[in-house]
A and B are shown apart, each in its own frame.
Chain A
Amino acid sequence: MSPSGAELLRKIKSQIREVDPAVVHEQLGNGVVLVDVRENEEFSVGHIPGARHVPRAYLESRIEGVVPDRDAHIVLYCASGNRSAYAARTLSEDLGYRNVESMTGGITLWKDRGYEVVVPRTLTPEQRDRYSRHLLLPEVGMEGQLKLLDARVLLLGAGGLGAPTALYLAAAGVGTLGIVDNDTVDLSNLQRQVIHAQSRVGERKVDSAEATIADLNSDVRVVKYPVRIDASNIMEIIEGYDVIVDGLDNFPTRYLLNDASVRLRIPVVSASILGFDGQLSVFKPYEGPCYRCLYPVPPPAELAPSCGANGVLGVLPGTMGLLQATEVIKLIVGIGEPLIGRLLLYEALSATFTELKVRRDPECPICSRDPDSISDEEMGVFPDYEAFCAAAG
């Protein structure tokens, strides 16, 4: 006659080794590998600190990835000690693990004894759905998505470059987006600044961008700075951000941003556009060159068309802005090779990319020094450019 479930369990438990939670608690951190064999939903509401998670249904296929060593000291647990008993037999009998125990009473008894339980951060069911294409990428996954949700990214400008960058970063679930822009939406912006809308012409760009982002992804908090960034407010605004996206339209502020970001050691993803051409690089303080290493001095006004209004192909800031957004995500998640120490040139008409090396300047007036030695008075200092631009009309 076949045994009942209860009889089978008794038989299994007689064949494996069981261990009391008190003993496991003493052994934590002493080389013992604790494996939680419960289902995803059970694990996500609380587990023993440091426990690895291998649901029993995936035990045979996944345990080797988690514990490759057949001689490792493994303690399995579940809710009450029954599923872990079956799992212990599988590991010992079928997979050849030689030092396996099942914790008596499971996490229920562990909690009754007053031992610590951690509740892992996780995504809501809606977030799992929204970010499912990220979760399917091993390079991003749950961990990467949580990093994105925790990240704080500051966009300088909600214009040509900032508009597409902000849209995609919001869609990707970057949790906090700061937007600095003191301009209002103009009809001539809409040829390229896709975050704004015809119905919002005349409104502040920070409000218009916020409205689009709110409709796209409610996970994103928008922090609005409807100001012109200058030496008096830059440190206060950029402090605390993880990455800054430079889509500025003038040299004085680009130098100012460089100096402030080096001082605070915040990486800057920088792009610029003109006509059909774009440039892109990542300036990560002290790991690579800074903006001043690349461009020690700005060009004179006649060679710096950023001073006045110039033509730009509407798609071009989209291309460059999305390359910026890609670099931002790589920096946050910590994947790939960011564009540090490299300058990427894009020519839309010939459809060519050119990559140039950018070296740290050992005599750079800013990043060759200790960041704490850079004073307020030194930031953004160079020939008076605004006067230049005014003279050039």
Chain B
Amino acid sequence: MATVKIPPVLRPSVGGEKQVEADGASVGEVLRSLAAAHPQTQSQLFSADGELNRYVNVYLNDEDVRVLDGLETRVGEGDTLVILPAMAGGR
């Protein structure tokens, strides 16, 4: 069971939660079980071919999964995934 931190723009899709727990041994599995539990996040996280959308950054603890093994990166008990889309507000 890993903890997934949800950014403000995705919170409406997970019932307003800031973080949720999700099962899975890899980053891909954790995110797919998140999408299974909260179907609205499916299209926000994944493209039609099942890849992670390029505008979504995912970090395992503090490291970008793009420099690890992407969706194949192993996730251990107690690890935290941070989902991070870009924000542009300055006003």
Q: B-contacting residues of A (Cβ < 8 Å)?
A: 157, 159-162, 246-251, 254, 271-277, 279, 294-300, 303-306, 310, 312, 317, 343, 345, 347, 350, 354-359
- How does the 8 Å CB contact mask read for B48-91 relative to A, with 1 for contact and 0 for none? 00000011110100111011000000000000001011111111
Chain B nearest CB: distance from A245 CB in Å?
A: 10
Query: Chain B contacts of A251 at CB under 8 A?
Result: 86, 88
- Nearest neighbor of B86 in chain A, beta-carbon distance: A295
B7 within 8 A of A: yes
* Distance in angstroms between the alpha carbons of A358 and B63 in the assembled complex: 8
Q: A-contacting residues of B (Cβ < 8 Å)?
A: 5, 7-10, 18, 44, 54-57, 59, 62-64, 66-67, 82, 84-91
Cβ-neighbour of B88 out of A249, A275, A277, A294 (below 8 A): A249
A sample of 19 cross-chain residue pairs with beta-carbon separation below 8 angstroms, ordered by A number, consists of A157-B90, A160-B91, A162-B90, A246-B90, A247-B90, A249-B91, A275-B8, A277-B87, A297-B55, A299-B55, A303-B44, A303-B55, A304-B86, A305-B9, A305-B89, A317-B90, A317-B91, A343-B84, A357-B64
* Distance in angstroms between the alpha carbons of A317 and B90 in the assembled complex: 8
Query: Chain A contacts of B84 at CB under 8 A?
Result: 343, 345, 356
Q: A350 and B18: CB pair below 8 A?
A: yes
- Nearest neighbor of A273 in chain B, beta-carbon distance: B89
- Nearest neighbor of B10 in chain A, beta-carbon distance: A303
* Distance in angstroms between the alpha carbons of A152 and B56 in the assembled complex: 35
Q: B62 and A249: CB pair below 8 A?
A: no
Query: Chain A contacts of B5 at CB under 8 A?
Result: 354
Chain A nearest CB: distance from B23 CB in Å?
A: 23
Chain A nearest CB: distance from B41 CB in Å?
A: 11
Q: A306 and B89: CB pair below 8 A?
A: yes
Beyond the given A303-B55, A317-B90, please list 19 additional residue pairs across the A-B interface where CB-CB is below 8 A: A249-B88, A249-B91, A251-B88, A254-B88, A277-B87, A295-B55, A295-B57, A296-B54, A298-B55, A299-B55, A299-B85, A304-B88, A306-B87, A317-B91, A345-B82, A354-B62, A356-B82, A356-B84, A357-B59
Q: B54 and A159: CB pair below 8 A?
A: no
Query: Chain B contacts of A254 at CB under 8 A?
Result: 88
* Distance in angstroms between the alpha carbons of A297 and B51 in the assembled complex: 15
Q: B64 and A358: CB pair below 8 A?
A: yes
Of listed B5, B8, B67, residue having the most chain A CB within 10 A:
B8
- Nearest neighbor of A275 in chain B, beta-carbon distance: B8
Query: Chain A contacts of B88 at CB under 8 A?
Result: 248-251, 254, 272, 298, 304, 306
Query: Chain B contacts of A310 at CB under 8 A?
Result: 89
Q: B55 and A274: CB pair below 8 A?
A: no
Query: Chain A contacts of B67 at CB under 8 A?
Result: 359
Cβ-neighbour of A312 out of B7, B85, B89 (below 8 A): B89
Q: A272 and B87: CB pair below 8 A?
A: yes
Query: Chain B contacts of A272 at CB under 8 A?
Result: 86-90
- Nearest neighbor of A162 in chain B, beta-carbon distance: B90
Q: B8 and A277: CB pair below 8 A?
A: yes
- Nearest neighbor of B53 in chain A, beta-carbon distance: A299
Chain B nearest CB: distance from A322 CB in Å?
A: 14
State the 5 A-B residue pairs at the shortest beta-carbon distance, nearest first: A306-B88, A295-B86, A247-B90, A299-B55, A272-B87
Query: Chain A contacts of B59 at CB under 8 A?
Result: 356-357
